[in-house]
Chain A
């Protein structure tokens, strides 16, 4: 079993050895690290070595494999995030960290499917966050080890080049399925909706959710040719009648409210692919962590940060994202 969680001292030693690293941890820990070839994002929740855990003492570490040919780290704002795919190496993968609630987060979430090279370059990553008790007290951040500084309003990407005898495949595990209920479409793309078309009929969406007692712990799910892409409910503003989401709903897509999950850990474990240790990264959603009470529970040998949003080419919610390196 590969260790995932390390002390600050252990991470310092890895940085000093020159190993390229993707890190996740509390900002007080990341701030103590020396300059080097690493990027990091803030979060204190993990699927750790002993299962789901909250920690402000340990850092989650992903080492870039030694067979990687080259790495380059770039910073993106809403001004240049559209280049995130075209900047990637022709063969390899790119790992992105985006601070939650920022302009670049919103811009990427809504526009990524329109960017050049979308889906033809392997981009994955996560949205950085904070302890839920610290909401309003501090902000999600990303760290550039090369520069020895953090950003609150920019994304960071480590682009990794691989030889052509290897291929980086991004996968997702989403145990939610579309329910048998209404077909929901939205009039505009965005993180909120006042109106929706339910089975073709225009309704005030907040009223629809409330009157039908939709369980908002269950996401809306769109079917992307067999892949279920979730959009999670954030809040319902009864006064304005606006429903807010953790990811954008897209105007052209059809959604259904997901059906209930009986046993998250059991269903999730059943869907984990057999990879012979070729899975080098994974992250899971904080809503899965909270709603399925994953603290102290193991989901097979899956480890990594628990995040405010997962990225597999585009922003996802309530989904586990992983990276497998294939020999071809």
Chain B
């Protein structure tokens, strides 16, 4: 399963809380907590893009881990 591109709207929806998904991988869940804190304190477009990119990078980093495969499916 491919990870959506940088331009996919899914990243923005996830970090802004517009879309809520019950992921199973703990690192992703706590990162989304971080996203909420960071965007709560700075909701500029630039910061949303930065945090969105960090989230995608996290999925890429962990993409070979078996337990994250279900979470990747939830992105598509």
A286 to B22, CA, bound (A): 29
Asked if residues B30 and A312 are in contact (CB atoms below 8 Å), the reply is yes
Asked if residues A172 and B26 are in contact (CB atoms below 8 Å), the reply is yes
Select one of A114, A172, A226 contacting B38, CB under 8 A.
A114
Would you give the shortest CB distance from A205 to chain B, in whole angstroms?
Answer: 20
A114 to B67, CA, bound (A): 25
Q: Is B29 an interface residue (CB 8 A)?
A: yes
Size band of the interface chain A makes with B: 20 to 34
Residue in B24, B34, B38, B61 with the greatest tally of chain A CB atoms within 10 Å: B34
Asked if residues B27 and A226 are in contact (CB atoms below 8 Å), the reply is no
Would you give the shortest CB distance from B72 to chain A, in whole angstroms?
Answer: 15
Please, which residue of chain A has its CB at the minimum distance from the CB of B41?
A252
A326 to B62, CA, bound (A): 12
DSSP majority for the B interface?
Answer: helix
Which of A28-36, A143-151, A163-171 makes up part of the contact surface?
A163-171
Q: A170-B27, A251-B40 are in contact. Are A118 and B64 (CB under 8 A)?
A: no
Residues of A near B32 (CB, < 8 A) are 224-225
Q: A114-B38, A326-B65 are in contact. Are A229 and B27 (CB under 8 A)?
A: no
A280 to B37, CA, bound (A): 31
Residues of A near B20 (CB, < 8 A) are 225
Asked if residues A250 and B26 are in contact (CB atoms below 8 Å), the reply is no
Q: Is B58 an interface residue (CB 8 A)?
A: yes
Asked if residues A226 and B65 are in contact (CB atoms below 8 Å), the reply is no
Asked if residues A313 and B27 are in contact (CB atoms below 8 Å), the reply is yes
Q: Is A253 an interface residue (CB 8 A)?
A: yes
* 29 cross-chain CB contacts under 8 A: A113-B33, A113-B34, A113-B37, A114-B37, A118-B30, A118-B31, A119-B27, A119-B31, A119-B34, A169-B26, A169-B65, A224-B30, A225-B21, A225-B29, A225-B33, A226-B22, A226-B23, A229-B33, A250-B33, A250-B37, A251-B40, A252-B36, A252-B37, A312-B30, A313-B26, A313-B30, A326-B65, A326-B66, A326-B67
Instruction: Please list the residues of chain A having a beta carbon within 8 angstroms of any beta carbon in chain B.
Output: 113-114, 118-120, 122, 167, 169-172, 222, 224-227, 229, 250-253, 312-314, 326, 328
